[in-house]
Amino acid sequence: MSSSNLPPVLRPEHPPTRALSELADRFGAEVRGDASHVTLNGITLATADLRAGEAFVALQGVNRHGADFAVDAAAKGAVAVITDAAGAERASASGLPVLVLEAPRSRMGELSAWVYGTGPDDDLPILFAPTGTNGKTSVSHLLEGMLGQLGVTTGLSSTAERHIAGQVIVSRLTTPEASEFHALLALMRERGVEAVAVEVSAQALSRHRVDGIVFDVAAFTNLSHDHLDDYADMAEYLEAKLALFRPDRARRAVISLDSAAAAEVVARSEIPVTTVATPDIAADRELAASAEWIVDILDERPEGTRFSLRGPNGEALETVVPVIGRHMASNAGLAIVMMREAGYAWERIVAALDGRRIEAYLPGRTERVSGETGPAVYVDFGHSPDAFEKTLAAVRRVTPGRVLMLFGADGDRDATKRHDMGRTGVEGSDILVITDHHPRFEDPSSIRSTLIEGARRARPDAEIHEYSPPEAAIVAAVALVGDGDAILWAGPGHQDYRDIRGVRTPYSARELARRALRDAGWDVPEPHWPVPYSD
């Protein structure tokens, strides 16, 4: 999939019409040209997605200034260019009115909110915002599923997908750019969406992608080693996450006490906090015991994890999250408390969930793609040492035989975690298979070598194999195991491409795994085949 084949940016079908002169007055922009009779119905950062009647915001890029594309924007129907002083002269070549703002990227949220009428004082759906190193996507999809069980019309914006009242669109970024995000919210509102789960990354906060929005309930899942290509150290990474827990970002917070960083998040939150914990997986059991809401693991099976949730005022329910892993029960418990904090009546939540299975599909999150016989094959999006450790432990607890771990690592991303990825992979498995993931512009053999080095340091005598490309690796992995064994293929998850030297090449780990199983003689179910939980 090339960059030109990326999913489209969505817009409201009936956007409001705004006067350009009013925008200039409201945001204190210098106007060059005649803006007196110009109106706009949208705003965008990219000429590729620009629609007639919209304003084009030209930003300074790594190699070029966006103002260099102002003429293209005019040809596509842009009605104005918004840029900084450095781009103003070049933007004038478009013949369009030019509004000059300093640091326009930092203003994108408020600009977009005003254009689409999606600011904190506007009529919007209930907005949920989970953040954390791992679990954001799972919490978002679990929220959507459980809200649906309550009869709520939902929207979703996650790493995997965007959902609008049942319509599914593939995602571009974990959190879309501010202009796209506000347009998406406006479209959701048009279609009667009542509640939206929005996965919020640290980068989204640092890069102004969720500016102009105040979430009703924010949540913190955990913090572990990742993204040190974007942040100098773990302290700076945490600092980026903490920005979500301020009154200008969210009204209430639910904090999981399962990770070591949780205590600092609670202490530094500037909004009201409710806590939840799963003592079975918590880094600090004493801290976990202090949580207002407690998740207890009751049963773990290949088809799901049964757990109970107990609240501070005698609230209690039992339910089943439809994937393996205590960490997934933790995610589900967090999502339930978020619903409670958003104002959904406990009696309504109990009526929908107690004694029932959560009706949620989590794309590429410990997703079983194999059948009832042969090795169990799970495809997972996890790409950090902490995710590896938790997911391998979950697979181990439901596997009678051996566990094979198959993974690669991102190129041109945080390389400091690669040794730990190799270590946790080999420590949690019986067989390790190293392959490629998104090499991007790095040498894939060098990435594999670093992963193997980390694994060998941890277990010199371990059974470790190396295969490239991953199409060959999954075939080899299936041949190394048998009935009763399990394969965890971590990294690709739901993604439908590999990034190789800047080209998005069509690719599906789920389909490759199914093909390898079929070719080895094992029965394979249809995609998304539901497996019921039975007593």
The upper half-sphere exposure of residue 168, i.e. CA atoms within 13 Å in the direction of its Cβ, equals 7
For residues 227 and 250, membership in a common domain is answered with yes
The answer to whether position 526 is within a domain reads no
Cβ–Cβ under 8 Å, residues 83 and 100: yes
What contacts 220, CB < 8 A, 6 or more positions away?
A: 130, 131, 132, 241, 244, 245, 253, 254, 255, 256, 262, 265
- Examine the fold and report which residue of 319, 335, 357 is the final residue of a domain before the chain moves on: 357
The structure tokens listed for 229 are: 């290509």
What is the tens place of the pLDDT at every residue in 256-288?
999 999 999 999 999 999 999 999 999 999 999
Residue 4: pLDDT band with limits 50, 70, 90: very low
Cβ–Cβ under 8 Å, residues 320 and 533: yes
The answer to whether position 331 is within a domain reads yes
The answer to whether position 99 is within a domain reads yes
Please give the pLDDT value at position 295.
98
pLDDT at 5 over 50: no
- Examine the fold and report which residue of 357, 392, 410 is the final residue of a domain before the chain moves on: 357
For residues 331 and 405, membership in a common domain is answered with no
Containing structural domain, residue 206: 126-357
The structure tokens listed for 151 are: 């009869």
Please report, for the domain that includes residue 51, its CATH number. 3.40.1390.10
What is the tens place of the pLDDT at every residue in 80-137?
999 999 999 999 999 999 999 999 999 999 999 999 999 999 999 999 999 998 999 9
Cβ–Cβ under 8 Å, residues 186 and 13: no
pLDDT at 532 over 70: no
User: What separation in angstroms does the CA of 255 have from each of 4, 31, 246, 252?
Assistant: 39, 45, 14, 10
pLDDT at 360 over 80: yes
Cis omega (within 30 of 0) on the bond before 469?
A: yes
pLDDT at 2 over 60: no
The answer to whether position 534 is within a domain reads no
Question: What's the CA gap between 65 and 399, in Å, rounded?
Answer: 54
pLDDT at 226 over 70: no
Q: Which helix (H) or strand (E) holds 241?
A: helix 234-242
For residues 192 and 311, membership in a common domain is answered with yes
Q: What value does the mean pLDDT of the chain take?
A: 93
Cβ–Cβ under 8 Å, residues 21 and 47: no
Residue 531: pLDDT band with limits 50, 70, 90: very low
For residues 336 and 422, membership in a common domain is answered with no
Cβ–Cβ under 8 Å, residues 191 and 154: no
What is the tens place of the pLDDT at every residue in 367-419?
999 999 999 999 998 889 988 999 999 999 999 999 999 999 999 998 999 99
Please classify residue 118 by burial: count the beta carbons closer than 10 Å to its beta carbon, then call 0-12 exposed, 13-18 middle and 19+ buried: buried
Count other Cβ atoms within 10 Å, centred on residue 442: 16
The answer to whether position 48 is within a domain reads yes
Residue 485, φ and ψ in degrees, nearest 5: -90, 175
Please give the pLDDT value at position 386.
86
Cβ–Cβ under 8 Å, residues 18 and 150: no
How many domains are contained in the chain? 3
524: amino acid identity, one letter:
V
The answer to whether position 9 is within a domain reads no
Question: What's the CA gap between 316 and 294, in Å, rounded?
Answer: 10
Please report, for the domain that includes residue 470, its CATH number. 3.90.190.20
- Examine the fold and report which residue of 357, 390, 407 is the final residue of a domain before the chain moves on: 357
Question: What's the CA gap between 346 and 342, in Å, rounded?
Answer: 11
